[in-house]
Amino acid sequence: MPLLARAEPSPFALRILSALVMAPVAIAAAWFGSPWLGMLTALAAAVMAWEWARLCRGGPLGVSGIVLILAAVAAAVAAALAGAGIGIAVAVIGAAIVFTIARHKRDSEPRWFALGLLWIAIPCVLLLWLAQPREIGPRTVLWIFAVVWATDIGAYLIGRQVGGPRLAPRWSPRKTWAGMIGGAGCAALAGWGTARLVDTSALPLVLVSAGLAIVEQFGDLAESVAKRRFGVKDTSGLIPGHGGLLDRLDGLLAVIPAVALLTLIGGSVLTWR
């Protein structure tokens, strides 16, 4: 009698299992700070740069891909050791070098190489900058994680359950307006919970968190545009249920600069009243 075929886990189950593995590592690094957060950020920058280089070149890294990875790591390390200003400078110089090498090597998309480096490296630099204040830094990073994760969960579950009109069918046919609203609602709940935990005014944090949920989902859409441009579904197959690390962190890469801008304008969002 033939053995029964083993049932394959659902994509949602794979997402949960992947999150259970990755989330504790990110939370611990954020909470304990230096040097762990810097090391994890540099590692993430390297992996995302590797995925982006393969995406742009259709597989092999080549010289331009190797330089792209080195520049992304160098920007994160510079930010951890010397500050955000130096990290951003390294990222910009690295993007210029990557663009020049990619054009010299006749790679088909030198501008995408350079833009991808900035898209990956600058949020990594700004994350380390946001994490620096001893009292509020780790809490800020954990709040950012909570908003992004709540947005992803809400958009995925509510979008699948409710369906309805597509948000941007030409860029990402699976995303719906219901998913965006659900993601914003879950992010607002994450903001409310954070306000209770850090003993601050709830309304500003709820409103900002909901707004960041929209930013997060447009970051996701931006990566979808890039993947459609290069004709791929995922940036890699590293994470079961998610694809690549870039597929998992694309929204985070959009949220971090938004939070950094708000912080520059009005101080730490967690202290707003």
Please compute the mean of the pLDDT values over residues 208-214 and round it to a whole number.
Answer: 97
- Beta strand pairing status for 172-176 and 166-168? antiparallel
- Maximum mean pLDDT: which of 149-158, 185-194, 219-228: 185-194
**pLDDT at residue 137 greater than cutoff 90:** yes
* Dist CA 123 CA 76 (whole Å): 9
* Dist CA 255 CA 48 (whole Å): 16
Q: How confident is the model at residue 2 (pLDDT cuts 50, 70, 90)?
A: very low
Please compute the mean of the pLDDT values over residues 180-209 and round it to a whole number.
Answer: 95
**pLDDT at residue 123 greater than cutoff 70:** yes
Query: What is the pLDDT at residue 191?
Result: 97
* Dist CA 205 CA 188 (whole Å): 8
CA distances (Å), origin 21, targets 187, 216, 236: 22, 22, 18
Tokens of 225: 């545009």
Query: What is the pLDDT at residue 126?
Result: 98
